Structures are given as structure tokens and as C-alpha cells.
């Protein structure tokens, strides 16, 4: 097990212990998710996951990758706080404590998407469609834009300009304003990385 994997595993176990102490009904009501017995079902990028005190199972009935587990646990834990839904979008760098992760997000999320789909917006459209993307309500001055629901009450927005004679291609991944009240900066960075991974492998 790598050092990072070991850290994630330790964090996950700690989070599960915190999840076991939550008022499941109250959390479900605040987030708008469903309860099945003592389990909570959470849609994450259009796939349903069951969270219990014993662990997390994905749509295949198996435990998902550790990064997804950490995000889902943190989402439930932070739901114990009061939330205020906000309109608009924020860049990752705008969130509290995002500073140390800005370079990671730019390299492992936005640059990966940029490099993969430069010169091929059609492939990007297809990948976004398979991931359940939808057309944003607002119009953005970009060649391509698509909105995705990550979790109940938390969405992301992909903006993409393809390369032309003057400028290179550029992808921006924005988060719903107030996203840091549902997930901390580290988990938002993980969400960005998972999102990029989903697009690139589809």
C-alpha cells in the first residue's frame, strides 16, 4: 500500500466512525437523499452508493475506490451544519484553504481535460453526455459548456475553449457557489480529479 493510499484508508476509517454517530434522518432531510433502514443512499455522478456504519458499496455491490469513499463520508459529516444554497459558480482557487492544492487542481484536472480534448470537441461532447451532463441555464462565452450534478445540492460546470490561431485550448472546472460548505477543499480537489478521470476514460 502506498503512503497516500494508507493515509486515505486511515482517513476513511476515521470518517466512518464519525458517520456512525450522525442522526441519519436529519442528515438525509438536509441533503435530500434517501434512507434504507440504517443506510443512506447517495447519488454520485449519476451512480448510487449505499453508506452504512460498516462501509460503502457502489452500484456493483462492491466497495468503490477509496477516494470516492472519503468524499461521500465527508459529505455526510459536513451535512450536520446548516447550509444556505447560493447561485453562481466559483473557481477552485476561490475556496477557503484551496491554496496548497491550486497547482494540483490545475495540473490533474483542468490540464488533463484540456490536453485530452484539444482539437476534438465532439469527443468531449460525447464523454460529457455519457456522464450525464446537461446544458447550463446560463450562456457562457465559451466554445463548449456543460453542467454536472456531483451530489445532491452540489454541481460543477465545465467550460472549454478549443485551440485557434491565437490561443491554445483551455478547460475550466467551476464549482457551484457554496460548494465548500458541503465538502472541504481537499475533497473538492478529489471530486475534480474523479471528474477528469471519468471524462478521459469514457
Dist CA 102 CA 57 (whole Å): 31
Averaged pLDDT for residues 165-189 = 95
Do 105 and 189 touch, CB atoms closer than 8 A?
A: yes
pLDDT tens digits, 37-67: 889 999 999 899 999 988 999 999 999 999 9
- Structure confidence at residue 83 as a pLDDT band (50, 70, 90): low
pTM: 0.92
Fold of 89-201: TATA-Binding Protein (3.30.310)
Domain range summary for the chain, segments of one domain joined by +: 3-78, 89-201
Residue with cell string 444554497: 85
Judge whether residue 80 has pLDDT over 70. Answer: no
- What number of CA atoms fall less than 13 Å from residue 124's CA on the CB side? 24
Residue-wise pLDDT tens digits, 86-130: 789 999 999 988 999 999 999 999 999 999 999 999 999 999 999
Look at residue 8 and tell me whether its pLDDT is greater than 90: no
Amino acid at each position: 500500500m502506498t503512503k497516500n493510499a494508507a493515509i486515505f484508508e486511515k482517513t476513511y476509517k476515521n470518517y466512518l466512525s464519525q458517520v456512525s454517530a450522525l442522526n441519519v434522518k436529519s442528515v438525509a432531510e438536509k441533503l435530500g437523499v434517501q434512507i434504507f433502514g440504517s443506510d443512506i443512499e447517495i447519488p454520485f455522478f449519476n451512480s448510487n452508493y449505499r453508506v452504512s456504519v460498516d462501509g460503502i458499496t457502489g452500484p456493483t455491490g462492491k466497495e468503490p475506490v477509496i477516494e470516492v469513499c472519503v468524499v461521500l463520508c465527508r459529505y455526510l459529516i459536513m451535512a450536520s451544519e446548516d447550509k444556505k444554497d447560493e447561485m453562481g459558480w466559483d473557481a477552485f482557487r476561490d475556496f477557503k484553504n484551496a491554496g496548497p492544492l491550486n497547482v494540483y487542481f490545475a495540473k490533474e484536472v483542468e490540464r488533463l481535460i484540456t490536453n485530452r480534448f484539444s482539437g476534438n470537441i465532439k469527443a468531449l461532447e460525447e464523454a460529457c453526455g455519457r456522464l450525464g451532463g446537461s446544458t447550463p441555464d446560463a450562456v457562457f462565452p465559451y466554445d463548449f459548456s456543460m453542467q454536472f450534478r456531483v451530489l445532491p445540492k452540489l454541481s460543477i460546470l465545465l467550460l472549454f475553449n478549443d485551440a485557434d490561431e491565437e490561443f491554445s485550448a483551455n478547460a475550466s472546472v467551476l464549482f457551484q457557489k457554496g460548494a465548500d460548505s458541503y465538502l472541504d477543499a481537499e475533497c473538492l480537489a478529489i471530486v475534480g480529479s474523479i471528474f477528469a478521470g471519468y471524462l478521459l476514460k469514457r
